[in-house]
Amino acid sequence: MSEILTQGKPFNEEIWSAAECLSRDEIQALQLTRLRETVARVKDVPLYKDFFQREKISPESIRTLDDIRRLPFTTKAQLRENYPLNYLTVPREKLVRVHGSSGTHGKPTFVGYTREDIYRWADLCARFLYAGMCRAEHLVQVSFGYGLFTGGFGLHYGIERIGASILPAASGNTPRQIMLLQDLKADGLIATPSYALNIAEVVCEMGIKPSELPLKYAHFGAEAWTEEMRVKIEDQLGIKAYNNYGLSEILGPGVSGECRFQNGMHIQEDEFFVECLNPETLEPVAPGESGELVITNLNKEAMSLLRYRTRDIAVMDDSPCPCGRTTRRMGRVMGRSDDMLVIRGVNVFPTQVEEAILKVEGVTPHFLMEVTRPKTQDELTVYVEIQPDFFSDKMSEMENLRSKILHEIHVITGLRVNLVIKEPKSLERFTGKAKRVIDKRDLHKIN
């Protein structure tokens, strides 16, 4: 493997800028070399072997990066067919770790890592954490679950790689999380945005002011969230909140992350080739249009996926970033195409509902969407919680609030929905990824 193994060297600007400040020509040359190596590495994997033989794909046949379009796509269903790990590119005994993605379909999808993969993963997480202000002198509380989920361990080793201290709190027991944050004076927090919201709510209930919390920043990922949610959490915890993205099949966290300018997530292009495609035609979308992210591993030893269809919908951004990194950026993931609801022909993502309700004063970010089909038409019911001081006995006040919420949802989604206003603290709180949709239609979900 062509590798700049930086393990053992202190993590500093020299290390990250060597990978993140290359010229476009340099990045593309590196990607092409690594794409050819990847093709060589996966040629005997059952997922690709027949296709390669039939289409005469070899490392030499990949002449330019555009030739990636000759390579096959990979889907989650194919990984399931090759359960548990029939897509490794190294003998099983070379693995030092196995993680798994939380499958909604029963069994997880497993992912293997060699020792080099683990080192490189730590570097990748360290890079985006550093871009988002994490430094060696900090203490960072990791409130992600540690386990098959890649979030806890992925971020853990990234923080350690920077030389900062970790408080591996894991998720749950929110009052204790707050005690740890306060007593140990954590500078940074790692969590899902919905868990951070949960923490912020308990902070408020405990009568602690944002200024009394030592926290300076947080890195949130693993689920979709909106700019409105960022503003809310930053305000409530008195921090800067940075977004980071990844998925287990490809690595885990570390595919991309925001720098201090918070204007999109820098893609770690030396390790991943990211395409943004129209999910129907599988052709590249026009610049500025949203599409499905399709990711190819360029440098993973234990397993490398070609053109993995993430189902995540986002927009690519090629504009320069004032931080000096030259890597392409991706906007927020609006949601997964399989989370997208189609209600009476209109596409709706939970993030659109989040964006809409947070525009209305007095509404909390806790909501739930329920889809039913009472007769022949789909109905969407949105449950929202409102803040205690906005809950009123006066019909007219409640009606006024209702019509504002319905209006915002209509403006953003184009849909007329049923709205149920819930009392404060009546909807479920989450410690990991939030579940915002209950689909009660009797349909089989296609993946």
User: Residues in the site for ligand DLL, rule: CB under 6 A?
Assistant: 101-102, 149-151, 221-224, 243-248, 252-253, 310, 312, 333, 336
What minimum distance in Å lies between the beta carbon of 310 and ligand DLL?
A: 5
Measured from each CB, the residue nearest to ligand DLL is 221
Shortest approach of ligand DLL to residue 87 CB, angstroms? 16
Task: Provide the minimum distance between the beta carbon of 351 and ligand DLL in the complex, in angstroms, as a whole number.
Answer: 8
Give the number of other Cβ atoms within 10 Å of residue 141's Cβ.
24
Q: Which residue, 36 or 328, has its beta carbon nearer to ligand DLL? A: 328
The contacts of residue 115 (CB under 8 Å, 6+ apart) are 96
Give the list of residues 6+ apart from residue 248 with CB closer than 8 angstroms, or none. 99, 100, 101, 109, 111, 149, 150
Which CB, 57 or 233, lies closer to ligand DLL?
A: 233
Cβ-based nearer residue to ligand DLL, 48 or 153: 153
Compute the least distance from the CB of residue 396 to ligand DLL, in Å: 39
Q: Which is nearer to ligand DLL, 150 or 296 (CB)?
A: 150
Whether the Cβ atoms of residue 195 and residue 151 lie closer than 8 Å to each other: no
H helix count then E strand count, the chain: 11, 20
- State the number of CA atoms in the 13 A half-sphere of 409 facing the CB: 27
Residue 53 Cβ vs ligand DLL, minimum distance, rounded to whole Å: 31
Q: Which is nearer to ligand DLL, 100 or 210 (CB)?
A: 100
Nearest distance from residue 330's CB to ligand DLL, in Å? 9
Residues 374 and 441: their CA atoms lie apart, in Å, by 9
Radius of gyration of the CA atoms of the chain, in A: 22
Phi/psi at 386 (5° precision): -115, 165
In 3-state terms, what secondary structure has residue 439? strand
In the bound state with ligand DLL, the residue whose beta carbon lies nearer, of 213 and 330, is 330
Phi, psi of 352 (to 5 degrees): -70, -35
CA atoms lying within 13 Å on the CB side of residue 421: 22
Find tokens 């007095």 and name the residue: 362
Is 273:65 a contact under the CB 8 Å cutoff? Answer: yes
Of residues 39 and 193, the one with the C-beta less far from ligand DLL: 193
**Smallest separation (angstroms) from ligand DLL to the CB of 4:** 24
Tokens of 20: 């993140």
| H helix or E strand, kind and range, residue 372 | strand 363-372
Identity of the residue, 62 or 316, whose beta carbon is nearer to ligand DLL in the bound complex: 316
C-beta of 201: minimal distance to ligand DLL in Å? 21
CB atoms within 10 A of CB 68: 19
